[in-house]
Structure 1
Amino acid sequence: MNYRFQNLLGAPYRGGNAIVVNNTLLISPVGNRISVTDLVKSETITLPCQASSNISRIAASPDGVFLLAIDDNSRCLFINLPRRAVLHRINFKKPVASAKFSPDGSFIAVAAGKLVQVWRSPGFKKEFFPFELVKTFANCNDKVTALDWSPDSDYLLAGSKDLTVRLFCLKKLSGSHKPFMFLGHRDVIKGVFFGVEKKTKQVSRVYTVSRDGAIFTWNYTARDETPDEIPSPGTPEQTMEVDQTSNFKKRKSSDLISNEESSSMLHTVKWDLSKKDFFMQSPAKLTSCDYHRGLDIVVVGFSNGVFGLYQMPDFVCIHLLSISREKITTATFNDLGNWLTFGCARLGQLLVWEWKSESYILKQQGHYFDVNTLAYSPDSQLMATGADDNKIKVWTVSSGFSFVTFTEHTNAVTALHFMASNNTLLSASLDGTVRAWDLFRYRNFRTFTTPSSRQFVSLASDQSGEVICAGTLDSFEIFVWSMKTGKLLDVLSGHEGPVHGLMFSPTTAILASSSWDRSVRLWDVFNGKGSVETFTHTHDVLTVVYRPDGKQLACSTLDGQIHFWDPIDGLLMYTIEGRRDIAGGRLMSDRRTSANSTSGKCFTTLSYSADGNYILAGGSSKFICMYDVADQVLLRRFQITLNLSLDGVLDVLNSKNMTDAGALNLIDDDNSDIEDGVEQQTRVKPGYDLPGSMPNRGRPIVRTKCLRIAPTGRSWAAATTEGVLVYSMDDNFIFDPTDLDIDVTPEVVESALGENQPSRALILSLRLNEDELIKKCIVSITPVDIRAVVASVPFKYLNRLIMAFAELLENCPHLEFILRWCQELSKSHGHAIQQNSRNLLPALKSLQKAITRLHQDLGDTCASNEYLLRYLCSTSSKP
């Protein structure tokens, strides 16, 4: 019951700007969530907060503490990044094209439509109105597209679609004052930047970049004019005060203003266009750019996948390379300027590149199309995902990084299965092949095929790994191969519909299969007896799973029910009516009332917990349901997303949005991408999905395609429209009053430890079920007393004790000491553990996972030390 959102894997980068905080943290939007990648530790996390729709703009405070996330609906989240908590929310009313914190962190500039708004940045103190609007500039004639602050936070540059750049001053000026305008560009402004002198760190120039690939350099000089003189042609709206003008009379027009004066006089000086440069990438359009003040370098990205790095102000090309043939949607520097981050929304890819050494720091790419299937490795450390983009990715669950991608399949990957050895992965695809992958050498070492091409949608392997079975979509057959030889052994016929569910019994060699022909069949594969049992249903059967002990079978049907069968006696044990539990969310084009919205709702994927006490079910809904099997009751519902950019999230539709032509949100009445000179980017899905699953404007329908609970039972993952959602147990203390009385307190445990009563202290801490006390008691016991203390622990506390060992092995430096505990526990309670393995299975799997990880780490360390010692010995022997 105590599962919380942990991470989001496999979701592609779909757009928006990426930023680098504290020089090593890459922050990027992923749908309506935010992903944070540590480029040094190679770890990625996803913040638990969600926006109302896809996030389009993000900005971070200079110290990296606060994060601003703005979605497509102009709704903003103000987030405390270290605590991963949402502090405030605000709605900007107009679409936001750019947002930036001031260098001192006190203000936030927001480009909301034609307006430039300056807000006071909220802090750590509690405020009733956290966002205070300081100033609004309404001088632009079209949408504002780019912003930049001066180093002293007194001035603001704003580029607009009206082909101009304006210089705004935040200080209150006496008299009438209109912003200085930088004119001359012939296309939309994409970037504006203040340039500074390296020695004095004062503003000395301005760079303006337009979409047609032009970069203009502007310098300022002193004015030599009288109050009656006509203003400069480049600044028709510029007005100057008399006292400021009189001071400029004393100077010659060719003299430059000193840097000390420039910081407070940028709005009064004369700006001259000193240089025009062009990137020469026509007909490609400039789509993204960034500037590093310390290095005086500009990076630009184009719609043809080319990016350029230029040293300014001399406009010297350092690099001009091509990432792909698709539009570069974001390009940014880190704080030091040695790393470049590029994002391509069409490919769902983020790259971090070190331009000096020309090497990749990060190259991550999620599944661009929906993830169809996933599988946990037996030790729960790895997770494999397969999707409609024909790719298989293998992830390290703890770090959230994909370390290998297999691309040999030529059609959608529909099923995955880890072999018991933990080093072999099986995959089935619509391309008519079943492939075996070696996770040591990262290669496809065996391919299983059929005499005539078939589309495989389900996959299973027996416990020994000798036999591989796959169910088909078109011929309704089950094919059986030998793992050793790769030869086709048998073809199981009998189903009259697609075989979408296959699973071997965990304890016997019986294969269970489910089909759309409204039946579940059991097959004796090894003895060649064919179908030995058939369970008939009134509706199409969508999936089938075995309980981990093999004594129960669960299957879901098209009418939204889950049926539980006894596979030995062939009797129906329970039935759960889940249609109303899974109901929720209506399509934008849905004309049915909410009362009838349950029709068509059903579970398409099931997964038993490690102990078999509860089952997870997901399908064509925004909910994932957790049921208690014995009592057939709903324990909890998980809502997989709040993203209104997806279809099927809203429970109530607004009738005002319905017209004769359909829903207003589905009417494509703009050509923004074509207007920008870039091909419109829509997600076109393969033909595997049902017709109409991507209506009109390509809004994906929220649903769950695959569910898997980790063998340890500590986490579970769901392949959804948003990506692979990973939920794990909450590590916070949960008070469990089992076997408690008034004498069981933390003070009593401390006193038992002080009186040298280790057995009593450990049992009291286990009864209290407080994590820190249990670990303290374990560590305080001497190695000599371990055997006696373990023998005195009652069996009902073994599960909690084993979980404590697994957690200590993850963090505690006393490796041999904890392994000694595990050894004595196995000797003293080995028979009881074997007799009750089903209840202790999650804890034992967690302990196995921790020991396996430590074994791998120690093996790598010893191997590296061995070669180092050999090298030192060989060098020391030389004269």
Structure 2
Amino acid sequence: MKFSYKLNNLLGTVYKKGNLIFTPDGNSVISPVGNRITIFNLRNNKSTTLPIESRYNYEAVGLSPDGFTLLTVNEVGEANIISLISQTVVYRYQFKRKVRAVKFSPDGKHFAVCKENNVFVFKAPNSKNIQYNGFVMERVFHGAYDETTCLDWSSDSKILAVGSKDMATKLYPLDKWKNFRLCSLGSHTEGIVGCFFEEGSYDITTISRNGQLCIWESTVEPQDLIPLNEIPVNKKKKKNDDDEDDVNIADSIERTEEETVAALEQLEVNDTNNKENKMFYKRVAKHFVADEVRKNNRDALLTSAAYHKTLKILVTGYSTGEFFIHELPDVNQIHSLSISDEKIKSISLNDTGDWIALGCGGSGFLQFSGQLLVWEWQSETYIMKQQGHSSNMSCISYSGDGQMIVTGGEDGKVKLWNIHSGFCFVTFTEHTNAVSDVAISGAKRFVVSASYDGTVRTYDLKRYRNFRTFTSTKPVQFSCVSVDSSGEFVAAGGQDVFEICLWSVKTGRLLEVLAGHEGPVSSLTFSPIISNTTLVSVSWDKTLKTWDAIEKGSAHEAIELIADGTCVAYKPDGQEVAVATLDGQISVFHIKTAAQLYSIEGRNDLGSGRSDTDLITAKKTLQAKCFTSLCYSADGEYLLAGGHSKNVCIYYVKEALLLKKFEITQNHSLDAVDDFINRRKLTEFGNIALVEEREEKEGGKVQIKLPGVRKGDMASRVFKPEVRVYSLQFAPTGQHWAAATTEGLLVYSLNAGLVFDPWQLRIGITPEAVRNATREGNHIEALAMAMKLNEAALIQETIEKIPVKDIELVILDLTEDYIKRLILIISGFIDNSRHLEYYICWAQQILTLHLPKINVQQNLPALLSLEKSMIRKYEQLSKICDHNKYTLRYIERLGSLKKEIKQEEKMETESENESNADSDFETSQDV
């Protein structure tokens, strides 16, 4: 249980490609993020990532009308039906080809899939239709001449409209109807981007890639459709009915000319009625909605569209990053806005039509970037605006209380992320080159970032501004940075100049230049002990150096390493340091005696992976892999390591033992995931991945990286990024850890509610025994047994039945082992329970009675977890209190204003009465 970490959230990447969907309640947006699905709750301001991973990136997503079933299809045609209740994959299906669009019918009984030039209609699984196979095909339509691109269902789920690249929209019936005829709606000069039925009607609107908008009117209403089985069958006349035939012939002979003309007229009327009952479409309007965009950019294309059928609002997005809102059927422009430099790939409207979700994805050098916005068009405000780094995320750092993560990227940006919500709330853009390392002060006062632009910058976490910029006496590309435990000194190591610079945060002056390394300084860190300014650094010169620059200046002690040093990490107690080297080993040294304590051979644990364009085998590639990021756990017993691989390893330091290995991704859309190249790519001429395929209109579409380029290819290339862990760190609370990878910022956390993990369990300890002890008033024994069972619900039930007056006595009788676990339990209950004051009493008594006796260093994760919960609850309550305070002030002020207005009105009436009395007195005197 101690290492049962599961993926909790994916930060730093909000959208890549595919279509966005609002949930039926309109409060959440479902976004495909690579090979994972993230749900952004806009009401509660929180994001969650489903614990489901596909083998390739998702491209098409559909949600059932009840909001319980999610249909996802990746870029190679693998489809999954996901239950959003259990968050598991229920059914799987192989389309074996690329799928452009999927959509559920409004009644929830069917869903349609666009594949190549075909449309497949399946029965949708639901609670009434329980079956083993979730993909039961019902109809297939083959009418399109090119790839189908979009589809839409009529409001009664009887007719399906499908747009394709053949510049036509075709209508298909789900069942057979007497007065329905297959319709193909043309009038477009480019491929169809969107087709939309009207609410309660078969009228349809189509829009193409060049912005041509056509409005079509149907001659048949939904209630006018006649099922085929209701057609009256004409009975053939029998041969023996000679008498009737003779009578009819005689009647026809006796008809007059006037009767014959009247019969012919009636026949013409019947024919016209039959024609009107047949389904025909008439184009009533044609508009060009992209003309305004093309005034500034002639190459602008319409890339996405969405339509709200109730409000009759059409939203169109373009390759220039602009979107327009029009009102149909008059096509009056309501609003327009430019939100990005990249094209808008997906648009979605919520059920009420107030919020518009827009997804922008990058291409070429910006292929890692993704932008997700939710815009309220009536008030013209952002509900949500999130964007990841436009290039790889290179470094991360946790705050001291574990509530915040700082990330730096190769795009020169520094971002601050809230762990609880999963959103970025501040972005600093002062750096002009890639950010190489970030650090945060222990008191959570400021953030420090080092960059290859030759500067080290500090950012205030209260005013969110860059208040210090440190530079060296000569131009240096800083590759690493660290802050001491007191927050007074900042040190940074150079990559091209092999020196370490030391600055004072208060004055901003350069205090010392530490020279001694003969190669690039790859990593450095200060001692975590307060009032200890010892600094350790590793370099490519195969040395680990220990500095005490404040007292001894440039004097240092050197430890020879076997290979080039790539990373160094301090143990939380400040007695040991772990060093990762280029040969894949991790060495642990005692900081005072310089003796090597442990050695971990980790190269084979990294795991191999062969790129599509590699000319050597994965076994040979493994010899060049190493760990590039290390971090100790909060208690200092375990070591987290990652590097040039998709694996993250946790080691038990004392035994040099691998405890657990995490595979961060199975996404085959990335490179170097497998150990072998697919034989389909190996031809008689060699590896087909080494052959470039260029397309003029698509901007090159080169899939081979430039030789020697590992970070940030500035050319417009669409190569597959390689799987790698750039940086990782344990949270100070020990409850989760984060890794900056090619996929984004992955956060793994412990979920104690899903696993039975007892502690010192003995025979006779059962939930019934715990409840019996509680009923008898033996609260100490009941609490001890509940903690041994380690079930959160039972512990909470037991604690809440203890009277407030007995809290102090219960805590006094608990030993140190129980107190450590109780602190973690109480911190969790403070977050989730409404009995806030009750649990604060528990926390106060624990800290008052046991804090002087317990080992703070060993219990630091539990104490930090308690601090984190208290701070979060304080922030939540302070917002509520401020809101109530200002509301009361407003009401009080409003009441005083009304009182003043009444007094003024009273004074006016009194003055009027006095003036009237005076006038009456004067008139009486005159009389």
Fold agreement, TM-score > 0.5: yes
Matching residue within 389, 399, 402 for 2:411: 389
Alignment correspondent of 1:413:
435
Corresponding letter in the other structure for 2:168: T
Q: Find the aligned partners of 1:679 and 1:359 in 2 and give their Cα distance.
A: 38
Alignment correspondent of 2:676:
652
Q: Find the aligned partners of 2:555 and 2:6 in 1 and give their Cα distance.
A: 42
Change (3 A) 1:790 1:686: farther
Matched, 1:669 2:671: no
Matching residue within 452, 458, 482 for 1:430: 452
Kept after mapping to 2: 8 A contact 1:290/1:331: yes
CA shift at 1:694, angstroms?
10
Alignment correspondent of 1:229:
none
Deviations 1:805-848 (A, max 9, x none): 10111122222322222222223322331xx2232111111011
Matches within 5 A, 1:737-752: 737-752=758-773
How many equivalent pairs are there?
841
Alignment correspondent of 2:287:
277
Alignment correspondent of 1:340:
356
Q: Find the aligned partners of 2:431 and 2:760 in 1 and give their Cα distance.
A: 55
Matching residue within 343, 346, 349 for 1:327: 343
Corresponding letter in the other structure for 2:832: N
Alignment correspondent of 1:718:
739
Give the root-mean-square deviation of aligned CA atoms.
2.8
CA shift at 1:247, angstroms?
12
Deviations 1:182-238 (A, max 9, x none): 122111111111123xxxx232x1111111110111113379xxxxxxxxxxxxxxx
Alignment correspondent of 2:201:
202
Matched, 1:793 2:814: yes
Deviations 1:85-117 (A, max 9, x none): 111111112211111111111111111001111
Matching residue within 155, 162, 165 for 1:158: 162
Matched, 1:852 2:850: no
- Aligned to 1:474, what secondary structure does the other structure show? coil
Kept after mapping to 1: 8 A contact 2:91/2:133: no
Q: Find the aligned partners of 1:468 and 1:577 in 2 and give their Cα distance.
A: 33
Unaligned ranges ≥5, structure 2: 222-230, 235-264, 363-368, 901-927
Q: Find the aligned partners of 2:267 and 2:575 in 1 and give their Cα distance.
A: 93
Change (3 A) 1:275 1:679: farther
Matched, 1:318 2:334: yes
CA shift at 1:691, angstroms?
9.2
Matching residue within 489, 513, 516 for 2:540: 516
Alignment correspondent of 1:292:
308
- Aligned to 1:797, what secondary structure does the other structure show? helix
Change (3 A) 1:856 1:320: closer
Kept after mapping to 2: 8 A contact 1:668/1:697: no
Matches within 5 A, 1:727-806: 727-732=748-753, 734-806=755-827
Change (3 A) 1:14 1:524: same
Matching residue within 183, 186, 190 for 2:186: 183
CA shift at 1:254, angstroms?
9.8
- The structure that has the greater radius of gyration is 2
Q: Find the aligned partners of 1:734 and 1:193 in 2 and give their Cα distance.
A: 48
CA shift at 1:698, angstroms?
1.5
Kept after mapping to 2: 8 A contact 1:560/1:578: yes
Alignment correspondent of 1:585:
609
Q: Find the aligned partners of 1:653 and 1:850 in 2 and give their Cα distance.
A: 48
Matched, 1:468 2:486: no
Q: Find the aligned partners of 2:86 and 2:789 in 1 and give their Cα distance.
A: 29
- Aligned to 2:697, what secondary structure does the other structure show? helix
- Aligned to 1:832, what secondary structure does the other structure show? coil
Kept after mapping to 1: 8 A contact 2:705/2:713: no
TM-score, normalising length: structure 1: 0.91
Kept after mapping to 2: 8 A contact 1:221/1:256: no
Q: Find the aligned partners of 1:670 and 1:113 in 2 and give their Cα distance.
A: 23
Deviations 1:140-172 (A, max 9, x none): 111111111111111111111111211111114
Q: Find the aligned partners of 1:311 and 1:7 in 2 and give their Cα distance.
A: 38
Alignment correspondent of 1:231:
none
Corresponding letter in the other structure for 2:15: Y
Matching residue within 140, 143, 153 for 1:136: 140
Matching residue within 614, 631, 634 for 2:655: 631
Corresponding letter in the other structure for 1:152: D
Change (3 A) 1:782 1:48: same
Matched, 1:700 2:724: no
Corresponding letter in the other structure for 2:635: D
Deviations 1:331-390 (A, max 9, x none): 221111121122211251111111112221111111121100111111111111110111
Kept after mapping to 2: 8 A contact 1:749/1:761: yes
Q: Find the aligned partners of 1:529 and 1:803 in 2 and give their Cα distance.
A: 43
Matching residue within 845, 867, 876 for 1:824: 845
Kept after mapping to 2: 8 A contact 1:694/1:701: no
Higher mean C-alpha displacement, 382-391 vs 693-702? 693-702
- Aligned to 1:800, what secondary structure does the other structure show? helix
Change (3 A) 1:427 1:661: farther
Matched, 1:402 2:424: yes
Kept after mapping to 2: 8 A contact 1:42/1:399: yes
Matching residue within 622, 633, 658 for 1:609: 633
- Aligned to 2:316, what secondary structure does the other structure show? strand
Q: Find the aligned partners of 2:62 and 2:12 in 1 and give their Cα distance.
A: 24
Alignment correspondent of 1:235:
none
Q: Find the aligned partners of 1:248 and 1:432 in 2 and give their Cα distance.
A: 91
Q: Find the aligned partners of 1:34 and 1:846 in 2 and give their Cα distance.
A: 29
- Aligned to 1:465, what secondary structure does the other structure show? coil
Kept after mapping to 1: 8 A contact 2:681/2:688: yes
Corresponding letter in the other structure for 1:472: G
Q: Find the aligned partners of 2:865 and 2:535 in 1 and give their Cα distance.
A: 28
Kept after mapping to 1: 8 A contact 2:704/2:717: no
Higher mean C-alpha displacement, 324-333 vs 748-757? 324-333
CA shift at 1:780, angstroms?
1.4
Corresponding letter in the other structure for 2:575: K
Change (3 A) 1:189 1:860: closer
Kept after mapping to 1: 8 A contact 2:14/2:386: no
Q: Find the aligned partners of 1:656 and 1:13 in 2 and give their Cα distance.
A: 30
Q: Find the aligned partners of 2:595 and 2:7 in 1 and give their Cα distance.
A: 37
Q: Find the aligned partners of 1:830 and 1:98 in 2 and give their Cα distance.
A: 60
Kept after mapping to 1: 8 A contact 2:643/2:726: yes
Matching residue within 110, 115, 119 for 2:118: 115
Kept after mapping to 1: 8 A contact 2:650/2:661: yes
CA shift at 1:73, angstroms?
0.8
Corresponding letter in the other structure for 1:674: K
Change (3 A) 1:164 1:855: closer
Alignment correspondent of 1:234:
none
Q: Which has the higher helix share?
A: 2
Matched, 1:301 2:317: yes
Unaligned ranges ≥5, structure 1: 224-240, 258-264
Corresponding letter in the other structure for 1:144: T
Q: Find the aligned partners of 2:217 and 2:890 in 1 and give their Cα distance.
A: 59
